Amino acid sequence: MLSIPQKWHFSSHPLPRISSVLNPPGEIKRVVLSPKGRTKLNPLPDREFYASPRFVKHVDDKFISNLRDLYGEILRPEMEILDLCSSWVSHLPDEVAYERVVGHGLNAQELARNPRLSYFFVKDLNKDQKLEMEDSTFHAVLCTVSVQYLQQPEKVFAEVFRVLRPGGVFIVSFSNRLFYEKAIAAWRDGTGYSRVQLVVQYFQCVEGFTQPQVIRKLPNAKQGNSIFSQIAGVFGLLSGSDPFYAVIAYKNFKPIYE
């Protein structure tokens, strides 16, 4: 028979209810950005800025190769995918046919040219963050080189959480290129490290996402060290050696596939 030492004392007070401590899944726990951090140098509506189609790739071939490899590791053919802030290309692996890929963006002409999309819709997420979709619709949500333009990222990430299925993944990828006048101040004023941490905080501010995983693939140290190279990289003028960053988290849990 196990005897309990006399020095151990057990409280008769009941433990607090967990539901009174934790936030409901999908709830925004805290605000990440200050009002100033959300501002843009160009305050005109984004729909006007993106009114004319841009049939260009905003990152270099190495970045795209890294992104396709990442998608190949995480995404599965039977998945239904939402490509958020998409364009005329989705950078999905060519050899994989997914169950469904829904595109979102700001220019209908660009989205109509994207061969991977089952259908698409146009919406300015800086004006209205609500996604007109049912809860738990998608296995995966992607956001490629566009997170820097979100002025209400907390609300957007909460909406992504809502439309993801349990175990669904949100993959946010970016480099150092941007439309400078359209990026939010918190992003413009940051470094590669601080921008990664900013996206990590976007995930962490929504109750229910798993601990974000960060992937960094930086160019060779011999490249991009000059002041000109750094400035050119910020403005998207370099044709190669883009740094690759991705932040990944899952809704509720990370699934294990055989």
Q: Of 37-46, 71-80, 222-231, give the range with the top mean pLDDT.
A: 71-80
Q: What is the pLDDT of residue 53?
A: 76
* Rounded distance between C-alpha atoms, residue 67 and residue 93, angstroms: 9
For residue 252, give both structure tokens. 């509720």
Q: Are 83 and 102 in contact (CB under 8 A)?
A: yes
Handedness of CA 144, 67, 209, 133 (dihedral sign): positive
Q: What is the pLDDT of residue 56?
A: 65
* Rounded distance between C-alpha atoms, residue 195 and residue 199, angstroms: 6
Secondary structure of residue 202 in the 3-state scheme: helix
Helices (H), the chain: 46-49, 61-74, 108-112, 153-163, 185-188, 192-204, 227-234
pLDDT at 1 over 80: no
Summarize pLDDT for 33-45 with one digit per residue, the tens.
999 999 999 988 8
For residue 253, give both structure tokens. 């849990």
Summarize pLDDT for 113-155 with one digit per residue, the tens.
999 999 999 999 999 999 999 999 999 999 999 999 999 999 9
* Rounded distance between C-alpha atoms, residue 59 and residue 6, angstroms: 68
Q: In the predicted model, what is the mean pLDDT of residues 221-249?
A: 63
Q: In the predicted model, what is the mean pLDDT of residues 55-67?
A: 85
Q: What is the pLDDT of residue 13?
A: 42
**DSSP one-letter string for 24-47:** PTT-B-S--S-TGGG--S--S-HH
Model confidence band, residue 32 (pLDDT cutoffs 50, 70, 90): very high
For residue 139, give both structure tokens. 């296995």
* Rounded distance between C-alpha atoms, residue 15 and residue 151, angstroms: 40
Q: Are 173 and 245 in contact (CB under 8 A)?
A: yes
Q: What is the pLDDT of residue 227?
A: 55
Q: What type of residue sits at position 174?
A: F
Pairing outcome for strands 213-217 and 244-250: antiparallel
Model confidence band, residue 47 (pLDDT cutoffs 50, 70, 90): confident
Q: In the predicted model, what is the mean pLDDT of residues 155-182?
A: 96
Q: What is the pLDDT of residue 7?
A: 39
Ordered by start, the domain boundaries in the chain are 25-250
Residue 102: which of 116, 88, 92 has the closest Cα?
116
pLDDT at 242 over 70: yes
Q: Does the pTM of the predicted model rise above 0.85?
A: no
CATH number of 25-250: 3.40.50.150
State the chain's mean pLDDT as an integer: 86
Secondary structure of residue 64 in the 3-state scheme: helix
Q: What is the pLDDT of residue 258?
A: 66
